[in-house]
Amino acid sequence: MTTPASQPTSTAAPDRLATMFASAKAEGRPAVIPFVPAGWPELDATVEIVEAAVAGGADALELGMPFSDPLGDGVVNQLAYQQAIAAGCNQDTVFEAVRELRRRGCSVPLLVMGYFNSVLAYGVGRFVQVAADAGVDGLIIVDLPPQEAAELEVPARAAGLHMVYLLAPTSTDDRIRLVAEHGSGFIYCVSVVGITGERPELSAELPEFIRRVRARTELPLAVGFGISAREHVQAVGALADAAVVGSAFVRAITEAPAGQRSAAVRAFVEGITGREPGHRP
């Protein structure tokens, strides 16, 4: 078994991810991590959405960095990205949202999820420093495999940022070991082969996939792609440490009138986490 030897080396800030996973484990439940494209549906909507999700019981948030060719995302997320880009969203928009959330007292882990072209365009060193200064906890760069990630991974680790890599049911044992050696914070286990999107049920391959990953790492495991209902979160909780809720969360935002968005976001998260309305441990 590979131990998480590549944890960030900076001790300047608390490890919010480690604290989150420990708390969820102590409560006997999986952490729930919604995903939302930053700068969407309006350029300044991210702070409101994140705060409503946290009030509803979200344990962390993934903020999608809008990109013109998000090949790993399904139609719901692609459309949201297109709208965010058209509104003027860019890397600085994402970082400013994180900065504002931290100023307002948001203490849950905030991860930036996106594609490596956006990092390169911004400048790798600059991207890492601005992200760390803003209060980002980790990076999920969908199209960056660990064997090609040194340019980003080394400075990110030095700045105290977690590098979260993805695995799929088709990942070989060697690939799992490689991700376990390079990743930190948690490993993102894609539940199916394909793109993001809501699905009626979890893959029958998921238990064996998670067993294979568990045998090779002590890092927490999060399951994403297709998590859209409370029963999915419960099923994931029997196997892994966290459930990532993407397209269903984005759809709930899309369907909510702007004046009722916070209430709709909070209600959605309360429903998928199983929390009582108004309850936040």
Active site residues: 62, 73
DSSP bridge partners of 110: 61
Q: Which amino acid is it at 173?
A: D
Please provide the DSSP assignment of 72-109 as one string: TS-HHHHHHHHHHHHTT--HHHHHHHHHHHHHTT--S-
Which contiguous run of DSSP H or E holds residue 32?
strand 31-37
Q: Which amino acid is it at 225?
A: F
Tokens of 258: 């702007």
Q: Which 8-state DSSP code applies to residue 276?
A: P
